[in-house]
Amino acid sequence: MTKFCLIGDSHLGALGAGIAAIDISAPDYETTFFSMHARNFPALQMKGRELEGATDELRREFAAFSGGRESIELDLYDAFVIVGQGLSIGHLVDLYRDYCCDSMPGPQRGRYLLSDACYISASERIIGSVNAMKIGRLIRSVTDKPITFVAAPNPGSGVPESEMPPEFPPFYTAVECGDAESIAMIFRAVCARIAKAKDVRIIPPIDEAAENGLFNRQEFSLLAERDAEGAPLSDRIGAMVHGNGRYGAMLARVVFDREAPL
């Protein structure tokens, strides 16, 4: 039996639902989940061979969302899966506010034009600094057991662009300009480069759920399961950027190398 330690923010919910849906269980696998609010993950630290919160308050929060466990004893697990934690194509879309590159076919629209190599290098630096990678480095500092990183899903379609706050990355603009597929390709290239350099596995957003390079079909987001009419915009955006159990089932098959009908 392979014992998996799954560590993540709210995006861990979809994978958990997917694991239950396709019955990832004994005798092949044992899964243990650890979570806390995304803002607190940067305060994780190594204590001996355990990963724990830096304060009593964080350890209590960790326990509240992790079945009562205040720390992760790394030696108890055979493999680690780190979900979300800033590993998202949204960082590259945010970079697209001010920069584009040679392989993007759309109009420049005031963005600075970079070479593909420069854009990829900048993207790699950004993705390499997200919380997920920091957690991976902590784990790797004491063990060489396999680590899989799972990117957050692409947003689901369904919330009109006119309602989006200005700080939301320009996903709609990239689609409108015809640059969505190029950004998606760059994100995959960056994930592949980091995975090779760090000897880890990185799973980007699932292609089968895609409406285009930057959006998933609504049926694979939490928007499909929520009564969005009259709901606050923040709730609708929250549902939009999270995968549901259907997405999680597809994701689980990739994470655990299971092949089954969608």
Tokens at 106, concatenated: 């759309």
Domain ranges of the chain: 2-255
Sequential pLDDT tens for the chain (262 residues): 888 999 998 899 999 999 888 876 657 788 888 877 767 666 777 888 988 777 788 778 777 777 777 788 899 999 999 999 999 999 999 999 999 999 999 998 889 999 999 999 999 999 999 999 999 999 999 999 999 999 999 999 888 899 999 999 999 999 999 999 999 999 999 999 999 999 999 999 999 999 998 999 989 998 888 766 667 888 889 899 999 999 999 999 999 875 543 3
Closest CA to 237 of 172, 163, 173, 174: 163
Partners of 149 in the beta sheet? 82, 202
For the domain made up of 2-255, give the CATH fold. Answer: Rossmann fold (3.40.50)
Do 115 and 102 form a contact (C-beta atoms < 8 A)?
yes
Q: Which residues contact 40 (CB under 8 A, 6 or more apart)?
A: 53, 58, 61
Residue with tokens 């034009």: 113
Closest CA to 16 of 257, 218, 247: 247
